Chains A and B, each alone.
Chain A
Amino acid sequence: MAGAIPIETGIAPAVLETRSVGRLLSSNRKFVVGGVIFLTLLIVALVGGIVLGPLALRSGVFPPRLGVGAPGAILGTTSLGQNILAQLTQAIPNSMLVGLLAATIGTVVGGLLGLFSGYFGGKLDAALRVLIDVFLAVPSLLFLILISSLLRGLGVPAIAVIIGAFAWAWPARAVRSQVLSLKERPFVQVGMLSGLSGVEIVWGELMPHLLPWLGANFINAFIAAILTESGLSILGLGSQRDMTLGMMIFWALNYGALLQNLWWWWLTPVIALIVLFLALYLVHLGLDEVANPRLRTQG
């Protein structure tokens, strides 16, 4: 459901100066709290990964099924004797990488398509509109299942790219409808009359209005991508080589951690995912409030 966060379409937010955006964001409690949690997770995981070293990921380093608080493996071990803490230090940055790559691809591709489709109109726009509606209607998880069941043995970045390739429809539609309404505004008309080229108007006049919204959408896509990756992993289509939070859950379920009462094995990635989602959601709410002044006044 996280992908269905409602987006205020149609209203163009006022252009914000870069400096005032920074000030607004740093005084927005939701944004700051979410951002701090996110960064803490990332830094702790990265530093932890360096401290533990690559050897800690091997199976059999520890006795199997150690409970929480075991010396050297404070979060316990799997039934293969893998250190769950070490897995977590690899899984958190990898899951974040999936979100970052997929959201970047989806937002950039979708944003550009929507921008040019909405601005230039014509036949290209008509075709793109059908294409956008098609990809909005189809649960993209299905195409992803199809593709990743064919291409086994992919790494985390490749999976992220594939997820991103199916994440452009929402931004494309929303940007397109915003551009359609912005195009009728006087300042764009003035730009056209004064002989600016199409590209100049798109970048100079339209882009500043779209950026705050694209930022909020980026976080939204970030959440959706992590969600999709973990869903794919639980279906058995994740990266077999690298650890992500979804793959940790997959392996735990696969080896019957639930039924053997090895709760630390499945609960660790579950809690990590929930914390990550909440942090990102707070950042999203904060960005939304800054991008959309109407939400800000409501508190």
Chain B
Amino acid sequence: MIFWRYVYERLIICIATVVISVTIVFFAPRLVPGDPLGAVTLKLSQMGGNRGSPELVAEYSRRFGLDKSPVEQYVAYLRQLAQGDMGYSIASFPSTVGDLLKGAIPWTIGLMLVTTVISWSLGSIIGGVVGWTGGRSPLLQALVPIALVLYTIPYYILAIVLVFLLAFYWPIFPLTGAYTIGAQPSLTPGFIFDIIHHAALPALSIVLVSLGWWFLSMRSLIVSVKGEDYMTWAEAKGLPRGRIFWGYAFRNALLPQATGLALSLGHIVGGQLVTETIFGYPGLGYLIFNSIKTLDFPVIQGSILLIIVSVAIVNFVLDLIYPLIDPRIRYGAVARS
């Protein structure tokens, strides 16, 4: 029973997240002075385009349903969204927002999955070992201040430095893009290498920064686990050191570390968006950046909604999973906190 109550609460939060964000995304443009279409045409004319005759504007308002009441528009918007229809892009007109998003999603998800898996597992292992061996090795201890500095620096700052050093000064990696322009996407080893070659720098900048964070948190987790009674007990039993570390200390410290991963999802996404911009990596962040430049508002709205809804769903799934992997978290206890 407690389990279902917990699921129900988490589900409410997931649904509330989606509803609140859809509402904000829908009403925010309408709170800005001037009607949305007028704002778009005005901005277009400021950029040297044609403002369009009043008849044209009236026709467009009718077609977009802007002559209806906000509530009616909102319901129509929800109905469209439910059908996966996010409208047309203004900057690259015949394409729909959905088309543009479909093109960008694989790059963002690919980069994020790879960097998160690498930094989380590497950071946990190194942090675990350093926390375990304590102050015995000065070399390992030197990693702590390095990790501190890395973790204080935002992703994109490191990204800029890396672009300069490894793409400009020593041109080992390409400057921008996800693959060489003109290359035919295919499953050949050459093209796969090309993709890895282009993803290496963005990935490196994200991995280095988040590695510092996972390293520090794992280190302190291991240090606190070391003081537990069951550790003394395992030692007293005469278990081999390796077994005590991996089977007792590391396993127990890994669970809060997994919870930390779920909690920092929002930060990971935000950091990745800006990093993509610096590398011109064609994911959602770069799409948003270009849409901001061209005032392509439907695309900005669409990308933001897509990311929020995905984050909400992933959070919901993680909320359900981690009490399963960590028996110390009881559903009731989580629900009350």
Which of B28, B151, B157, B267 is the one whose CB lies under 8 Å from A139? B267
B274 within 8 A of A: yes
Q: Which single residue of chain A is at the shortest CB-CB distance from B295?
A: A149
Q: Which A residues touch B168, using CB under 8 A?
A: 258-259, 261
Are B161 and A278 in contact, CB atoms less than 8 angstroms apart? no
Docked CA distance A131–B16 (Å): 8
Residues 220-248 of chain A: 1 if any B CB is under 8 Å from the residue's CB, otherwise 0? Answer: 00000001001100111100000000000
Q: Which B residues touch A146, using CB under 8 A?
A: 24-25, 28, 300-301, 304
Q: Which single residue of chain A is at the shortest CB-CB distance from B214?
A: A1
Q: Which single residue of chain B is at the shortest CB-CB distance from A10?
A: B337
B217 within 8 A of A: yes
A190 within 8 A of B: no
Which of A134, A145, A177, A281 is the one whose CB lies under 8 Å from B300? A145
B275 to chain A, nearest CB (A): 10
B277 within 8 A of A: yes
5 CB < 8 A contacts A-B = A1-B264, A4-B267, A134-B13, A138-B312, A150-B32
Closest CB pairs A-B (n = 9): A141-B270, A139-B266, A139-B270, A134-B17, A133-B13, A231-B274, A142-B304, A277-B152, A1-B213
A52 within 8 A of B: no
Which of B32, B164, B267, B288 is the one whose CB lies under 8 Å from A145? B288
Are B312 and A235 in contact, CB atoms less than 8 angstroms apart? no
Docked CA distance A277–B168 (Å): 26
In the complex with contacts A4-B263, A134-B17, A263-B164, A274-B153 CB distance below 8 A: yes
Docked CA distance A258–B159 (Å): 12
B300 to chain A, nearest CB (A): 6
Are B160 and A249 in contact, CB atoms less than 8 angstroms apart? yes
Which of B13, B155, B264, B300 is the one whose CB lies under 8 Å from A130? B13
Are B161 and A270 in contact, CB atoms less than 8 angstroms apart? yes
Known interface pairs A137-B311, A277-B154; 18 further A-B residue pairs with C-beta atoms within 8 A, sorted by A's residue number: A1-B271, A2-B151, A2-B154, A3-B267, A4-B267, A130-B16, A139-B270, A139-B307, A139-B308, A141-B270, A142-B270, A143-B21, A146-B24, A146-B301, A177-B337, A231-B274, A266-B160, A281-B152
In the complex with contacts A134-B16, A236-B293, A270-B304 CB distance below 8 A: no
Docked CA distance A237–B291 (Å): 12
Docked CA distance A76–B160 (Å): 19
B139 within 8 A of A: no
Are B266 and A137 in contact, CB atoms less than 8 angstroms apart? yes
Contact surface of A with B, Cβ cutoff 8 Å: 1-4, 6, 130-131, 133-134, 136-143, 145-147, 149-151, 177, 227, 230-231, 234-237, 249, 253, 258-259, 261, 263, 266, 270, 273-274, 277-278, 281
User: What bracket does the count of chain B residues touching chain A fall in?
Assistant: 35 or more
A20 to chain B, nearest CB (A): 27
Are B157 and A273 in contact, CB atoms less than 8 angstroms apart? yes
Are A258 and B163 in contact, CB atoms less than 8 angstroms apart? yes
Docked CA distance A273–B155 (Å): 12
Q: Which of B121-168 contact A (CB under 8 A)?
A: 148-149, 151-157, 160-161, 163-164, 168
Are A259 and B175 in contact, CB atoms less than 8 angstroms apart? yes
Are B300 and A4 in contact, CB atoms less than 8 angstroms apart? no
Q: Which of B7-42 contact A (CB under 8 A)?
A: 12-13, 16-17, 20-21, 24-25, 28-29, 32
Are A136 and B266 in contact, CB atoms less than 8 angstroms apart? yes
B253 within 8 A of A: no
The listed residue with most A CB atoms (<10 A of its CB), out of B21, B24, B32, B270, is B270
Docked CA distance A136–B267 (Å): 10
Q: Which A residues touch B281, using CB under 8 A?
A: none
Which of A2, A150, A273 is the one whose CB lies under 8 Å from B28? A150
Q: Which single residue of chain B is at the shortest CB-CB distance from A279?
A: B152
B317 within 8 A of A: no
Q: Which A residues touch B270, using CB under 8 A?
A: 139-142, 231
B210 within 8 A of A: yes
Are B21 and A138 in contact, CB atoms less than 8 angstroms apart? yes
Q: Which A residues touch B322, using CB under 8 A?
A: none
Docked CA distance A263–B160 (Å): 11
Are B157 and A270 in contact, CB atoms less than 8 angstroms apart? yes
Are A231 and B154 in contact, CB atoms less than 8 angstroms apart? yes
Q: Which B residues touch A249, using CB under 8 A?
A: 160
Q: Which A residues touch B16, using CB under 8 A?
A: 130-131, 133-134
B269 within 8 A of A: yes
Docked CA distance A277–B212 (Å): 15
Which of B151, B175, B285 is the one whose CB lies under 8 Å from A1? B151
B297 within 8 A of A: yes
B273 within 8 A of A: yes
A91 to chain B, nearest CB (A): 14
B101 to chain A, nearest CB (A): 14
B226 to chain A, nearest CB (A): 13
Docked CA distance A261–B94 (Å): 39
Q: Which A residues touch B149, using CB under 8 A?
A: 278
Docked CA distance A220–B278 (Å): 25
In the complex with contacts A139-B311, A146-B28, A270-B17 CB distance below 8 A: no
Are B13 and A137 in contact, CB atoms less than 8 angstroms apart? yes
Q: Which single residue of chain A is at the shortest CB-CB distance from B36?
A: A150
A68 to chain B, nearest CB (A): 15
Q: Which A residues touch B292, using CB under 8 A?
A: 145, 149, 235-237
Q: Which single residue of chain B is at the shortest CB-CB distance from A148?
A: B292
In the complex with contacts A1-B151, A130-B16, A151-B32 CB distance below 8 A: yes
Q: Which B residues touch A1, using CB under 8 A?
A: 151, 154-155, 209-210, 212-213, 264, 267, 271
Which of B217, B260, B264, B277 is the one whose CB lies under 8 Å from A235? B277
Are B160 and A258 in contact, CB atoms less than 8 angstroms apart? yes
A281 to chain B, nearest CB (A): 5
Q: Which single residue of chain B is at the shortest CB-CB distance from A223?
A: B152
